[in-house]
A and B are shown apart, each in its own frame.
Chain A
Amino acid sequence: MSFQATTSQTVGPYFRIGLSPLYRNEVAGLQAAGTRIRISGRVFDGNGAAVPDALIEVWQANAAGRYRHPEDQGAAPLDADFVGFGRIPTGADGGFQFSTIKPGRVAGPGGCLQAPHIVVSVLMRGILKRALTRIYFGGEPANAEDAVLALVPASRRDTLMAQSDGEGHYRWDIHMQGEHETVFFAV
């Protein structure tokens, strides 16, 4: 058989049938350590119309900056009540919401710590391969020294910033196209 990576195909409009068993909008367990936050937003297409059939998947480190994964051999402790995965479908208004704890800083390129962030896959009908992006936190001082953010033109960085509107709630929209097109990454 070939060892070339299998081609991606769209998730289509009916993914709920297969993917809903792992829907998770509470990323952190009740006993997880850290600052509780909620992140909500909406997904928009190139016409500015809400996307009611998108799926957002998130992955993040715990409050101490440790991923629950064998590849993370860092010294920070694991948290028994924290896995770090979320999967949220958008509603009729293109909206999604999840609750979690604010992630800690994890190691980055060149031995520098990365700013707190959540990695995100965006899937939907009309997307032939997952779109990869990140949520950072607006106003976070560590953003200034983040090696990934440094690769993003300054004029587009705000598309990655969840903005606090108080009480632990952050707002972060996804624009697939247009003036505020979200920055998507290739890794």
Chain B
Amino acid sequence: MSDLKGYRKPWWHTQPEYVHPAYGSTVKRGPLQPLIEIPATLSEVTGPVFSATTIGKHAADLTAGHAGESIGERIIVTGRVLDENGKALSNTLLEIWQCNAAGRYLHEGDLHDAPLDPNFTGLGQVVTDAEGRYRFTTIRPGEYPWRNHYNAWRPAHIHFSLFGEAFAQRLVTQMYFPGDPLLPFDPIFNCIADEKARNRLVSSLDWENSKSEFALAYRFDIVLRGRHQTPWEK
């Protein structure tokens, strides 16, 4: 068997280092030894595929499925999932989670003194269409304090988890909102040295997908690693 085509390495400074002291928890949790480079084998170019997974009836609408209306500003989040070669990733699962409009997660570890919303769980699942597009409806998440440093506040964000087509493509990330004044102060957002890469985590207001009299839309495109190609190969 011939050796497999691997995945592109990250562009310089566009992915975080494991230890980023401004984000205190990384200091004792991030690996310190250099990573060992290995060639992509069958184990990394394959991976679990969840397009056939049964996802919940309300999975693409985080405001639905409860007894009443979720509190907060309803928004639509939409975008495309592509790889670094520009290929749309169809039928790919996105797992989504977030806090409520008051900045509180439905989790026993979240002790922030803000109300829970009985009509908001903060869990979503969507699968991309043939062009790699996804779309879900939710509530704009609130900002909340965390104990990383004195008066530390996380900017509003939504968590995303993607498997893509291969174990090598696994990505967990966070989407932020344009103009959030907390962004310059957030050590998690600022863990990426490359400013342009960092700013690609900030969604943009999307008039085309906004629904008049209903909800504003935010666009967040996601790029997973692409495989090496020979020039012009498609």
Contacts and interface: CB of A to CB of B under 8 A. Distances in A.
Interface in A137-177: 147-148, 151-152, 156, 176-177
Given A5-B224, A67-B46, A151 B36 contact: yes
Contacts of B32: 46, 177, 181
B173 A4 contact: no
B125 interface: yes
Contacts of B97: 14-15, 17-19
Contact of B41 (A53, A129, A130, A148): A148
Which secondary structure characterizes the binding site on chain B? loop
B41 A15 contact: no
Interface string B70-100: 0000000000101111100000000111110
Contact of A7 (B15, B39, B226): B15
Chain B interface: which size bin? 35 or more
A126 B174 contact: no
A92 to B, nearest CB: 11
Given A6-B223, A128-B188, A184-B35, A14 B15 contact: no
Nearest to A1: B221
B170 A121 contact: yes
Nearest to A13: B109
Contact of A69 (B30, B38, B46): B46
B123 interface: yes
B233 interface: no
B16 A22 contact: no
A88 interface: no
B30 A148 contact: no
Interface string A11-29: 1111111110110000000
Contacts of A134: 43
Nearest to A60: B43
Given A7-B192, A18-B95, A127 B10 contact: no
A187 B46 contact: no
A17 B106 contact: yes
Contacts of B99: 14
A14 B30 contact: no
Interface string B207-234: 0000000000000011111100000000
Given A3-B86, A17-B105, A186-B36, A114 B46 contact: no
Contacts of A101: none
A89 to B, nearest CB: 12
Nearest to A53: B109
Given A15-B97, A45-B29, A109 B44 contact: no
A129 B16 contact: yes
B114 interface: no
A6 B48 contact: no
A16 B30 CA distance: 21
A7 B201 contact: yes
B149 interface: no
Given A4-B84, A84-B48, A107-B1, A17 B122 contact: yes
Contact of A109 (B10, B18, B41, B82): B41
B33 A11 contact: no
Contacts of B222: 6
Nearest to B28: A46
B2 to A, nearest CB: 8
Nearest to B54: A21
6 contacts: A11-B159, A13-B109, A17-B105, A57-B170, A61-B43, A121-B170
Given A5-B224, A123-B172, A187-B44, 19 more contacts: A3-B84, A4-B223, A6-B224, A9-B172, A9-B191, A17-B121, A22-B53, A59-B46, A74-B42, A85-B48, A126-B25, A126-B26, A130-B170, A181-B33, A184-B31, A184-B33, A187-B37, A187-B38, A187-B168
